[in-house]
Chain A
Amino acid sequence: SQQGEEDPQALSIQEGENATMNCSYKTSINNLQWYRQNSGRGLVHLILIRSNEREKHSGRLRVTLDTSKKSSSLLITASRAADTASYFCATDARGGADGLTFGKGTHLIIQP
Protein backbone atom coordinates (compact mmCIF):
# COMPACT_ATOMS: atom_id res chain seq x y z
CA SER A 1 0.00 0.00 0.00
CA GLN A 2 1.12 3.57 -0.62
CA GLN A 3 2.29 5.41 2.47
CA GLY A 4 2.98 9.06 2.88
CA GLU A 5 1.14 10.74 0.03
CA GLU A 6 1.65 14.48 -0.04
CA ASP A 7 -0.55 17.11 -1.54
CA PRO A 8 -0.40 19.32 -3.36
CA GLN A 9 2.12 17.85 -5.79
CA ALA A 10 3.28 21.37 -6.63
CA LEU A 11 2.80 24.70 -4.92
CA SER A 12 3.89 28.13 -6.08
CA ILE A 13 3.59 31.12 -3.76
CA GLN A 14 5.02 34.59 -3.32
CA GLU A 15 7.91 35.22 -0.99
CA GLY A 16 6.65 36.12 2.47
CA GLU A 17 3.49 34.02 2.21
CA ASN A 18 2.91 30.87 4.19
CA ALA A 19 3.12 27.45 2.55
CA THR A 20 1.12 24.48 3.73
CA MET A 21 1.74 20.93 2.59
CA ASN A 22 -0.21 17.87 3.61
CA CYS A 23 0.66 14.22 3.96
CA SER A 24 -1.57 11.20 4.41
CA TYR A 25 -0.56 7.70 5.30
CA LYS A 26 -2.27 4.35 5.59
CA THR A 27 -0.71 2.21 8.30
CA SER A 28 0.04 2.91 11.95
CA ILE A 29 3.27 4.77 12.57
CA ASN A 30 5.91 5.26 15.21
CA ASN A 31 6.72 8.74 14.02
CA LEU A 32 6.45 10.98 10.98
CA GLN A 33 9.26 13.10 9.60
CA TRP A 34 9.56 15.82 7.01
CA TYR A 35 12.55 16.11 4.73
CA ARG A 36 13.59 18.72 2.19
CA GLN A 37 15.38 17.99 -1.07
CA ASN A 38 16.92 20.71 -3.17
CA SER A 39 17.12 19.92 -6.86
CA GLY A 40 19.59 17.12 -7.50
CA ARG A 41 20.74 17.01 -3.91
CA GLY A 42 20.33 14.76 -0.87
CA LEU A 43 17.56 14.82 1.69
CA VAL A 44 17.78 17.13 4.67
CA HIS A 45 15.88 16.28 7.82
CA LEU A 46 13.58 19.10 8.93
CA ILE A 47 11.44 17.93 11.79
CA LEU A 48 10.10 14.78 13.44
CA ILE A 49 6.81 14.35 15.24
CA ARG A 50 6.08 11.27 17.31
CA SER A 51 2.79 9.43 17.14
CA ASN A 52 1.78 10.70 20.61
CA GLU A 53 2.40 14.34 19.67
CA ARG A 54 -0.11 16.61 17.94
CA GLU A 55 1.94 19.66 17.05
CA LYS A 56 5.56 20.65 16.93
CA HIS A 57 7.42 23.84 16.05
CA SER A 58 10.93 24.46 14.83
CA GLY A 59 11.80 27.97 13.73
CA ARG A 60 9.49 28.84 10.82
CA LEU A 61 8.22 25.26 10.62
CA ARG A 62 5.06 23.96 12.22
CA VAL A 63 4.03 20.34 11.92
CA THR A 64 0.75 18.83 12.99
CA LEU A 65 -0.18 15.19 13.24
CA ASP A 66 -3.68 13.73 13.37
CA THR A 67 -3.37 10.00 13.91
CA SER A 68 -7.14 9.49 13.75
CA LYS A 69 -7.12 10.86 10.20
CA LYS A 70 -3.66 9.47 9.45
CA SER A 71 -2.52 12.85 8.21
CA SER A 72 0.10 15.48 8.86
CA SER A 73 0.69 19.01 7.67
CA LEU A 74 3.83 21.07 7.32
CA LEU A 75 3.50 24.83 7.49
CA ILE A 76 6.37 27.09 6.49
CA THR A 77 5.73 30.65 7.60
CA ALA A 78 7.15 33.78 5.99
CA SER A 79 8.55 31.83 3.06
CA ARG A 80 11.86 32.76 1.44
CA ALA A 81 13.28 32.08 -1.99
CA ALA A 82 15.69 29.62 -0.36
CA ASP A 83 12.73 27.48 0.72
CA THR A 84 12.23 26.46 -2.92
CA ALA A 85 12.65 22.68 -2.84
CA SER A 86 10.74 19.42 -2.74
CA TYR A 87 9.32 18.41 0.60
CA PHE A 88 8.68 14.80 1.58
CA CYS A 89 7.00 13.22 4.52
CA ALA A 90 8.40 9.92 5.70
CA THR A 91 7.03 7.41 8.15
CA ASP A 92 8.31 4.43 9.99
CA ALA A 93 6.15 1.86 11.66
CA ARG A 94 8.33 0.58 14.42
CA GLY A 95 11.37 2.81 14.84
CA GLY A 96 14.66 1.10 15.43
CA ALA A 97 16.40 0.11 12.22
CA ASP A 98 13.32 0.53 10.09
CA GLY A 99 13.64 2.01 6.67
CA LEU A 100 11.55 5.09 6.08
CA THR A 101 8.59 5.12 3.72
CA PHE A 102 8.52 8.33 1.72
CA GLY A 103 5.71 10.04 -0.12
CA LYS A 104 6.01 11.47 -3.62
CA GLY A 105 6.64 14.94 -2.30
CA THR A 106 5.42 18.47 -2.81
CA HIS A 107 7.48 20.68 -5.06
CA LEU A 108 7.42 24.17 -3.54
CA ILE A 109 8.39 27.22 -5.57
CA ILE A 110 8.81 30.55 -3.82
CA GLN A 111 8.60 33.42 -6.24
CA PRO A 112 10.54 36.55 -5.30
Chain B
Amino acid sequence: EPEVTQTPSHQVTQMGQEVILRCVPISNHLYFYWYRQILGQKVEFLVSFYNNEISEKSEIFDDQFSVERPDGSNFTLKIRSTKLEDSAMYFCASRPLATRNNEQFFGPGTRLTVL
Protein backbone atom coordinates (compact mmCIF):
# COMPACT_ATOMS: atom_id res chain seq x y z
CA GLU B 1 0.00 0.00 0.00
CA PRO B 2 1.45 3.42 -0.92
CA GLU B 3 2.64 5.54 2.00
CA VAL B 4 3.85 9.02 2.71
CA THR B 5 7.53 8.90 3.62
CA GLN B 6 9.61 11.46 5.49
CA THR B 7 13.32 11.96 5.96
CA PRO B 8 15.17 12.19 8.20
CA SER B 9 13.37 10.47 11.05
CA HIS B 10 15.31 12.58 13.55
CA GLN B 11 17.15 15.85 12.96
CA VAL B 12 19.26 17.59 15.57
CA THR B 13 20.37 21.14 14.87
CA GLN B 14 21.81 24.17 16.59
CA MET B 15 19.66 27.22 17.20
CA GLY B 16 19.90 29.62 14.28
CA GLN B 17 20.68 26.96 11.71
CA GLU B 18 18.55 26.22 8.68
CA VAL B 19 16.86 22.85 8.36
CA ILE B 20 15.04 21.21 5.50
CA LEU B 21 12.58 18.46 6.22
CA ARG B 22 11.70 16.23 3.32
CA CYS B 23 8.55 14.38 2.41
CA VAL B 24 7.56 12.15 -0.47
CA PRO B 25 3.76 12.23 -0.72
CA ILE B 26 1.74 9.41 -2.24
CA SER B 27 2.32 9.57 -5.98
CA ASN B 28 -1.14 10.43 -7.30
CA HIS B 29 -1.95 12.90 -4.51
CA LEU B 30 -2.24 16.57 -5.28
CA TYR B 31 -2.79 18.28 -1.92
CA PHE B 32 0.11 18.44 0.50
CA TYR B 33 0.30 19.53 4.10
CA TRP B 34 2.71 20.11 6.95
CA TYR B 35 1.75 19.82 10.60
CA ARG B 36 3.75 19.92 13.79
CA GLN B 37 3.28 18.39 17.23
CA ILE B 38 5.21 19.80 20.14
CA LEU B 39 5.84 17.09 22.73
CA GLY B 40 2.72 16.43 24.78
CA GLN B 41 0.61 18.86 22.80
CA LYS B 42 -1.85 18.59 19.96
CA VAL B 43 -1.09 18.36 16.28
CA GLU B 44 -1.11 21.84 14.72
CA PHE B 45 -1.65 22.71 11.08
CA LEU B 46 1.13 24.70 9.44
CA VAL B 47 0.45 24.94 5.71
CA SER B 48 -1.34 23.37 2.77
CA PHE B 49 -0.05 23.34 -0.80
CA TYR B 50 -1.83 22.73 -4.07
CA ASN B 51 -0.98 23.39 -7.69
CA ASN B 52 2.49 24.60 -6.76
CA GLU B 53 1.36 27.27 -4.38
CA ILE B 54 0.35 27.68 -0.77
CA SER B 55 -3.41 27.27 -0.32
CA GLU B 56 -3.67 28.03 3.35
CA LYS B 57 -1.31 28.72 6.21
CA SER B 58 -1.66 29.09 9.94
CA GLU B 59 -0.33 31.82 12.22
CA ILE B 60 2.55 29.53 13.10
CA PHE B 61 3.78 29.55 9.50
CA ASP B 62 5.65 32.84 9.59
CA ASP B 63 8.47 34.15 7.42
CA GLN B 64 10.89 31.66 8.93
CA PHE B 65 9.05 28.84 7.19
CA SER B 66 8.82 28.02 3.52
CA VAL B 67 7.63 25.07 1.47
CA GLU B 68 8.65 23.85 -1.90
CA ARG B 69 7.93 21.09 -4.33
CA PRO B 70 11.26 21.06 -6.16
CA ASP B 71 10.46 18.10 -8.41
CA GLY B 72 7.61 15.74 -9.10
CA SER B 73 7.99 13.75 -5.94
CA ASN B 74 9.45 15.71 -3.02
CA PHE B 75 7.71 18.23 -0.80
CA THR B 76 9.96 20.11 1.60
CA LEU B 77 9.59 22.32 4.64
CA LYS B 78 12.42 24.74 5.33
CA ILE B 79 12.95 26.54 8.59
CA ARG B 80 15.41 29.37 7.94
CA SER B 81 16.74 30.09 11.40
CA THR B 82 15.62 27.54 13.94
CA LYS B 83 14.57 28.48 17.44
CA LEU B 84 14.39 26.30 20.53
CA GLU B 85 10.60 26.36 20.31
CA ASP B 86 10.72 24.81 16.84
CA SER B 87 11.58 21.49 18.50
CA ALA B 88 8.68 19.22 17.62
CA MET B 89 7.54 16.33 15.47
CA TYR B 90 6.80 17.51 11.96
CA PHE B 91 4.29 15.53 9.95
CA CYS B 92 3.73 15.67 6.24
CA ALA B 93 0.37 14.63 4.82
CA SER B 94 -1.18 14.32 1.39
CA ARG B 95 -4.51 13.59 -0.18
CA PRO B 96 -5.79 12.95 -3.68
CA LEU B 97 -7.81 15.42 -5.68
CA ALA B 98 -10.76 13.19 -6.45
CA THR B 99 -12.41 13.03 -3.07
CA ARG B 100 -15.20 14.98 -1.44
CA ASN B 101 -13.67 14.31 1.91
CA ASN B 102 -10.54 15.68 3.44
CA GLU B 103 -9.04 12.39 4.59
CA GLN B 104 -5.34 12.99 4.78
CA PHE B 105 -2.60 10.41 4.74
CA PHE B 106 0.19 11.15 7.19
CA GLY B 107 3.84 10.26 7.13
CA PRO B 108 5.69 8.89 10.18
CA GLY B 109 7.10 12.28 11.06
CA THR B 110 10.48 13.90 11.55
CA ARG B 111 11.52 14.66 15.09
CA LEU B 112 13.34 18.01 15.10
CA THR B 113 15.46 18.83 18.11
CA VAL B 114 16.89 22.35 18.31
CA LEU B 115 19.71 22.79 20.81
A-side residues, CB < 8 A to B, are 4, 30-31, 33, 35, 41-45, 48, 50, 88, 90, 92, 95-105
CB atoms of B43 and A88 under 8 A apart? yes
User: Residues of B within 8 Å of A, CB-based: how many?
Assistant: 28
B110 to chain A, nearest CB (A): 10
B75 interfacial contact with A, CB 8 Å: no
Task: Determine chain B's interface SS by DSSP, over half rule.
Answer: strand
CB atoms of A99 and B35 under 8 A apart? yes
CB atoms of B45 and A97 under 8 A apart? no
Residues of B within 8 Å of A99, CB to CB, are 33, 35, 45-48, 56, 58
CB atoms of B104 and A45 under 8 A apart? yes
Residues of B within 8 Å of A45, CB to CB, are 103-106
Interface 1/0s, chain B 33-58, versus A by CB < 8 A?
10100000111111110100001101
Instruction: Give A18 to B49 CA distance when docked, in angstroms.
Output: 39
CB atoms of A42 and B108 under 8 A apart? yes
A-B interface, 5 closest residue pairs, ranked by CB to CB distance from nearest: A99-B45, A97-B55, A102-B43, A43-B106, A42-B108
Instruction: Give A41 to B110 CA distance when docked, in angstroms.
Output: 10
B107 interfacial contact with A, CB 8 Å: yes
Q: Which of the residues B4, B41, B50, B101 comes within 8 Å of A104, measured between beta carbons?
A: B41
